[in-house]
Chain A
Amino acid sequence: MTETLTATKTLIVGLGSPYGDDQIGWMACERLITEIGHLPAVEFIICDRSGIEWMTKLPPGGQVIFIDAMRSGEKPGTVSKIDIRSERCAECPATLSSHGINIRDAIDLVQSLGDLPEIISVWGVELEQCNYEWGLSESVNTALPTLLENIKSDIH
């Protein structure tokens, strides 16, 4: 894997906020920095809005992995890999994201510019609570190791 990583740059984007289950994207990103942050071809960004901040840092021809909390009707703590080009994702209302720029809009923009990385992965964890509590709910906390293992396996 190391050889591939040095040849192909991977950008891992943790999305969310410091609150409740919404912090799963940040927390997973921080854990990955600790575990695989030494790999030279992997970069990390933690941000609280889905667009703009990461758009200028995409690795050409590489891979981008988004990590975020999600609400899709599944059981809380469910770890899913989402196809950003799916119809289900297209129906996601923009108002769920800060300032109306959701991941899909941002990816559309990057695609129009011809800067889209070859591989885009979106990893989500179904949230249990979306409030201003500091900690993760038990179900999301339990899902964290599975999420991390899946993401590490997903790095090309």
Chain B
Amino acid sequence: MLTRVEGEGALAISIRKNKIESLQLRIFEPPRLFEKLLEGRLYTEVPDIVSRICGICPVAYQMSAIHAFEALFGIDPGSWVRDMRRVFYCGEWLESHSLHIHLLAAPDFLGFDSAPAMAKEYPLELRRGLMLQSLGNDLIRLFGARSVNPVGAKVGGFTCAPSMEDVNALLHKLRAALPDAEALISWTALLEYPKMSQHFPSVAISHPGEYPMNEGDLKSDQGLHIPINQFEHHFEEKQVAYSTALHCTLLGQAYLVGPLARINLNYGKLHPEVKQTIEKISVQFPSQNMYHSIVARAAEIYYALIEAIRLLENYHVSKSPFVKVTPKKGHAYGCTEAPRGSLWHQYEIDKKGVVQNARIVPPTSQNQARIEQDLRFTLEQCGLDAPEEILRLKAEQVIRNYDPCISCATHFLNLTVARL
């Protein structure tokens, strides 16, 4: 599995007669074997172990695991827990999307080689990004005691309920950030995008009553609509010889998960304020232009802020922030919407609640085949006779659009071009 990858990515392309003959995005990071590590562990230990898979989206890993166990054990933790898990998840979207937009993607669009270089000309925008990211961290800390690898979530609910005082203090800061989040959508829409439209299926969770985070069925814009426990009947992960990252396909096809896919499938579920803001900009959804991912992220930041405020305005200190859990034997399935896309978990549990085997399919693995497809499309459109430095820059931009966990590590993409 590909979880969080640090180290260098490399791209090898062979060009013949101005066409790409082969393209390989190589990830070198050795497998971390988290699934094997989970075997023999009690279900109570799993949320804290899987949160270590990613320092940027630990909430997503915890939520997919917890929902899987609760579905198998037949537990309903109640509306308080359900709402607060949504707030918890809002924090992660805020934190992760703000980091990506301002520190990773925006320098690409504005022609800077780094965020510090961009900060000299766009200090207000950078400050806004850091402020929104910090708010996301505050929300995660509110329920998880810390923003990285939080420890507050458990099967059955939360270990404790935050105080009214802490919630009110944070609510004040969240409300104050609303104008900035709204302005961020318009700002991202004014960036210069290449006009392009690629053919790819969008895949995300969809829920009948809300923009998806924790619950729902898996849907695509090409007619797929399945319960999450049917994932393996439609999606297949394959090892490729040149990379440690698995490639996941939908009925043999590359597909997209993440904010653009999510908004393509669930635009109608956004809050009215978010939709009204989007209606005023040039970028519209659904979109097949991968560069619009940054606008989708900005829209989700505004959504997450409004949603967190809405839920916290009705907050009360629950006397029972968790319910009693009795394990059951069987197969547990969980799928939630991580900032980078659908994160699918499957566990086989014995009657004592001990994990017999586990399988985790992270969004970055699901986007691998799509990234390669996009690289092929974009580099050919860019013109393969371009200098390698231009091709490398273009390739980095394409990869960063997906906000994979390798995005930090591919600032210096090692590009090998063979012109045959």
Residues of A at under 8 Å CB distance from B?
A: 47-49, 52-53, 55-56, 95, 98-101, 105, 108-109, 111-114
- Taking CB atoms, residues of chain A closer than 8 Å to B119 are 109, 112-113
Q: How many residues on B have C-beta within 8 angstroms of the other chain's C-beta atoms?
A: 29
Q: Which residue of B lies closest to A115 (CB)?
A: B127
A-B contact count, CB below 8 Å?
56
Chain A CB within 8 A of B126 CB: yes
Residues of B at under 8 Å CB distance from A?
A: 4, 6-8, 55-56, 99, 103, 114-120, 123, 126-127, 130-131, 133-134, 137, 147-149, 408-409, 411
Q: With both chains docked as a complex, state the minimum distance between the C-beta of A60 and any C-beta of chain B, in angstroms.
A: 13
Is A95 in contact with B7, judged by CB distance below 8 angstroms?
Answer: yes
Q: How far is the CA of A101 from the CA of B103 in the complex (A)?
A: 10
Is B117 in contact with A112, judged by CB distance below 8 angstroms?
Answer: yes
Is B123 in contact with A55, judged by CB distance below 8 angstroms?
Answer: no
Q: With both chains docked as a complex, state the minimum distance between the C-beta of B102 and any C-beta of chain A, in angstroms.
A: 10
Is B116 in contact with A111, judged by CB distance below 8 angstroms?
Answer: yes
Q: Which residue of B lies closest to A109 (CB)?
A: B116
Is A99 in contact with B6, judged by CB distance below 8 angstroms?
Answer: yes
The answer to whether residues A95 and B409 also contact, given A55-B130, A56-B134, A108-B116 and a CB cut-off of 8 A, is yes
Q: Which residue of B lies closest to A46 (CB)?
A: B146
Q: With both chains docked as a complex, state the minimum distance between the C-beta of A138 and any C-beta of chain B, in angstroms.
A: 28
- Taking CB atoms, residues of chain A closer than 8 Å to B118 are 112
Is B147 in contact with A99, judged by CB distance below 8 angstroms?
Answer: no
The answer to whether residues A114 and B408 also contact, given A98-B6, A108-B116 and a CB cut-off of 8 A, is no
Q: With both chains docked as a complex, state the minimum distance between the C-beta of A133 and any C-beta of chain B, in angstroms.
A: 17
Is A53 in contact with B7, judged by CB distance below 8 angstroms?
Answer: no
Q: Which residue of A lies closest to B6 (CB)?
A: A95
Q: How far is the CA of A111 from the CA of B137 in the complex (A)?
A: 22
Q: How far is the CA of A100 from the CA of B29 in the complex (A)?
A: 14
Q: With both chains docked as a complex, state the minimum distance between the C-beta of A13 and any C-beta of chain B, in angstroms.
A: 14
Is B99 in contact with A48, judged by CB distance below 8 angstroms?
Answer: no
